[in-house]
Structure 1
């Protein structure tokens, strides 16, 4: 062995004797600690992977999936449409809201208790003056309408239209002239017995049907007419476009005599009953000194009567 190699071995031995290599127990403790750290790290990584899989499954799974119930109980899946919506404030879920129930044929809607809906229309118990129409300026004579207790309809072979369903009625006498004739100070062209009647809910349409039947059952009748009775004939006329429904009929009779001589002209009276909800208005045109009803004038005043009633009822 050379001298340089011998010096190298001695230097290495001296350096090893100067270092503390630790006792065996300390070395084993350090090795165990490193092993535990490796196991903990592996467990944490596995937990993170499992958690990600579970969260992903909940996002992908459909909302209608049922939750398993505890043993011994039976549950049924809740359909999506009936599922209560969670409260925004974090409280208990809001209960499902019941849909509204269709109302009656009148067009109103009935709602569940506690839910505010459209108010049901009330049957009026009085009839103000504004419910009656005003004549067009060209038809005014300067004679103010006069409210009287008059018969609302002519006699029809003694038929009695039931009145027990009447809530309130007002009748007036209305004098008018035709547009082409002079105004104040001259003879009028006709008169109306104009009535408005409020009936109990659902009864007004029955009244119009009974009126139709009364006209059908009375095609001819004897009527009083001054000193000599006369005969009149009645018939229904086609009618539509007034209010909710309407009935129009005519009454024809021989013209009144002039100086004892009969005239060839017939006396024609028109009567129209119009229903607007539970309200019925009747225009009974009765002429003036041998004049007959003009259909165009009665039609125009009927439209004005409906407009006034609709404005009153709102």
Structure 2
């Protein structure tokens, strides 16, 4: 810097309008520092850009020779080059929309219950039957007579055999006597049930009901052991119980001297499926009494409600 220029600059260092001009050495140092900052910023920007390209290169072209991964969703696909042997990554398929159909529901005696349709396995099939799975008679019908002795859970139907028996997980049964509300306490019962609960392997409970229907239809009449009468069997309208149900009757004339002339002894059997469980209510009577449909229907509803409460 020339002497005249230095003198001229120093003359400007006097206060002008109360503003002091910085000495030339300070101005020079500030200018040098700004130049260094600009150079460092440029180097950092280049490093970031190169790093991004390197990362992007690893995503699009793996070094191990595997199939290239698709680019991120917000990254445009590179333009195709004619003659290039590198396959262009295909766009990923859009997600399959979920069905808006509601969960299937099944009408039961107590209302509508959601659950698996016929033949569909449940997610958590039970493996044991607790005492609470058995229904309790209404207070007006109770006699206190109950037994868990072994015995058949279905009447004989011309010697029918059921393939679904091989799919039984567990079965429990009991016999329970009931009375009608008008029957005085201390009198003999008005009827009895053989009540059974059977767990089947997932998806096999509906086979049990199908086989039972076939057995009834294939045995329209028969003679029972130690009984000279001819019993006739027929399928009845089962009503809405559980996921599906079967109701049939066995009918025979009363033996001589029993019942009113021309009257019939009637037994009713209802089997109800709830998921992979089948409960059977077999009305067996008491000393030649006849089953009443209203009583069997009411106790069937109680039996289904107990099963549904157990299965949750």
TM-score scaled by structure 1?
0.63
Structure 2 equivalent of residue 50 of structure 1 = none
Largest Rg, 1 or 2: 1
Contact kept? 1:161, 1:207, Cα under 8 Å: yes
> How many Å separate the matches in 2 of 1:155 and 1:187?
26
Preserved contact between residue 126 and residue 168 of structure 1 (Cα < 8 Å): yes
Partner residue of 2:299? 301
Is the CA contact (8 Å cut-off) linking 2:213 and 2:246 kept in structure 1? yes
Matches within 5 A, 1:155-166: 155-162=156-163, 163-166=165-168
What's the CA shift for 1:147?
Answer: 1.1
CA distance in 2, matches of 1:238, 1:309: 22
Q: Is the 8 A contact 1:256 1:262 kept in 2?
A: no
1:86-97 to 2 correspondence within 5 Å?
none
Matched, 1:129 2:140: no
**How many pairs align?**
221
Match of 1:75 among 69, 80, 88: 88
The 5 Å alignment of 1:192-203 reads 192-203=193-204
Gap change, CA 1:65 and 1:125, over 3 Å in 2: closer
Which structure has more relative contact order (CA 8 Å, sep 6+)? It is 2
TM-score by length of 2: 0.63
Asked if the contact 2:157–2:215 (Cα under 8 Å) also holds between the matched residues in 1, the reply is yes
- In structure 2, the residue matched to 1:277 is 275
Q: CA deviation at 1:148?
A: 1.8
Structure 2 residue matching 1:209: 3-state secondary structure: helix
Moved more, 198-207 or 70-79: 70-79
Q: Tell me if structure 2 keeps the 8 A contact 1:233–1:253.
A: yes
Residue 246 of structure 1 and its aligned partner are, at CA, apart by 0.4
| Contact 1:256/1:263 (<8 A) preserved | no
Q: Does 1:289 align with 2:300?
A: no
Structure 2: tracts of 5 or more residues without a match: 1-73, 105-114
